[in-house]
Copies of this chain bind each other. A is one copy, B any other.
Amino acid sequence: MKDIARRAGVSESAVSFALNDRPGVSDVTRDRVRRVAEQLGWHPSTAARALSGEGSATVGLVVARPAGTLGVDSFFLQLISGIQEVLAERQLGLLFQVVEDVAAECAVYQRWWAEHRVDGVLVVDPRTADPRPALLDDLGLPAVVTGGVPDPDAHHTGLSTVWADDAGAMASIVDHLYALGHRRIVHIAGLPGLAHTERRIRTLRAEAQRRDLSEVRSVTTDYSDAQGAAVTRRVLRAASPPTALVYDNDVMAVAGVAAAASLGFAVPGDVSVIAWEDSALCRMVHPWLTALSRDTVSFGRTAARELLSLLDDGPAATVQVPLPTLIERESTGRVAEG
C-alpha cells in the first residue's frame, strides 16, 4: 500500500479511502489509485484488515459427525456448494472443520471467536437439547442454524434459523402411503438426538394416531448403509412385516431395497420404499426409488445469505425453505390385496 501511495503521489490514507469507496478523495485520484493498485496486483492483507477492526472476511462451518458417517451421503458437499456460491460474491472465505462431537464443536467456536478467525458461523445438524445456540448467543458470535426447527422457547436473539418443514413433509409421505392402502409403516430414521430426526418421528406418530394406525413406528440408525440394511432385515422378518418403509436418507434406502430383495421381498410388490433425500443413487437401482426431493444447494445458498445479512447488522430471521416434493418413481405402489 505504501508503494501505491508513492506511485500515485498521495498519502496512504488517501489510498485507503480510494480503495474502500470512502468519501474524502476526488474521483480522479480514486481512479488513479485504483489503476496503480491493479497494476501492482495489490490485495489487502486480511490480517491487517482484521486487526484494524474490519473482521476476518471468513465464516466458519464445523460439522460434528463420527468420522465414517460423513462421506456417505452427498448432502454436505451440496450444502457447501451452495454456501460457497453466495460467499464467493463477497470474497468471503469458508473455514471448514470436522470434529468428533458437539463438545469439540463448541470448543472450536470459542477458539475461532477468540482468535478473531471468523466473523460468523453456520451451524448444522441442530439437536434436541442443543448447547450450541446458547453458547453462540453468549459469545455474541453471529450464526445461522440450518436445518433445525425453530425453538419456540428459548429465543436466542442474534441467531438466525433456516429450516425445512420436516413435519409437513412427513405428513405428505404418510398421506401418500395411506392413500395407497398402506397401514403398516416403518420409518428407518437417522441419528437420534438430531432435531429433525426427532421431529420426523414425532410427526409420524401423530399422523398415525390421527388415522388410528397402530403398526407404525420409527427406528433410529446412524445413517449408514449397514444399519439401514440390518434394520430392514429385522423388521421384514417380523411376524407381520410392514408394507412400506420410509428411509431418512438415500443410502439407507438403497441398502434397504437390496436387503429386502435378499429376503425375497419384491419392491414395490411386497413392500413400498420411500427415500428421504433424492440423488443420483435413487435412479441407479431397480426399481427407481420414490424420493423426497429438496434443493440442498439452494438450502446452502439461503443459509449463507442469512449469515451475510446478519454480518451486515441485519435482523436475525427465521426463514423457511420450500417444502420438499415427493417424486414418485417405481418403488411405491398400492398395497397388495389381503
Q: Which residues from chain A sit less than 8 Å from chain B, CB to CB?
A: 41-51, 56, 58, 67, 70-72, 74, 76-78, 80-81, 84, 88, 91, 93-99, 110-111, 114-117, 224-226, 251, 254-255, 258, 261-262, 279-281, 283-286, 297
Whether A115 touches B44, Cβ cut-off 8 Å, given contacts A94-B95, A96-B94, A224-B280, is: yes
- A109 CA to B94 CA in the complex, in Å? 14
Residues of B within 8 A of A251 (CB): 280, 284
- The contact sample of 26 A-B pairs, CB cut-off 8 A, is A42-B114, A43-B115, A45-B51, A47-B47, A47-B50, A48-B51, A67-B81, A67-B297, A71-B81, A71-B279, A72-B74, A72-B280, A77-B77, A88-B97, A95-B96, A225-B283, A225-B284, A226-B280, A251-B280, A251-B284, A254-B284, A255-B280, A255-B284, A262-B286, A281-B281, A284-B285
- Whole-angstrom CA separation of A262 from B114 in the bound complex: 58
- Chain B residues positioned under 8 Å from A96 (CB to CB): 80, 84, 94-96
A116 CB, min distance to chain B CBs, angstroms: 5
Measured between C-beta atoms, what is the minimum distance from A99 to chain B in Å? 8
In the bound complex, do residue A261 and residue B286 qualify as a contact, i.e. CB atoms below 8 Å apart? yes
Taking a contact as CB atoms under 8 Å apart, the answer to whether A43 and B286 are in contact is: no
Cβ distance A88 to chain B, nearest Cβ, rounded Å: 7
**Distance in angstroms between the alpha carbons of A21 and B11 in the assembled complex:** 40
B285 near A285 (CB under 8 angstroms)? yes
Which of A41, A47, A262, A286 has its CB near the most chain B CB atoms (within 10 A)? A47
CB distance from A233 to the nearest CB of B (A): 14
Q: Which residue of B lies closest to A56 (CB)?
A: B47
The minimal Cβ–Cβ distance linking A35 to chain B, given in whole angstroms, is 17
Considering the complex, give the chain B residue whose CB is closest to the CB of A82.
Answer: B67
The distance in angstroms between the C-alpha atoms of A58 and B81, with both chains bound, is 20
Residues on B with C-beta less than 8 A from A72 are 74, 280
- CA–CA, A270 and B56, complex, Å: 59
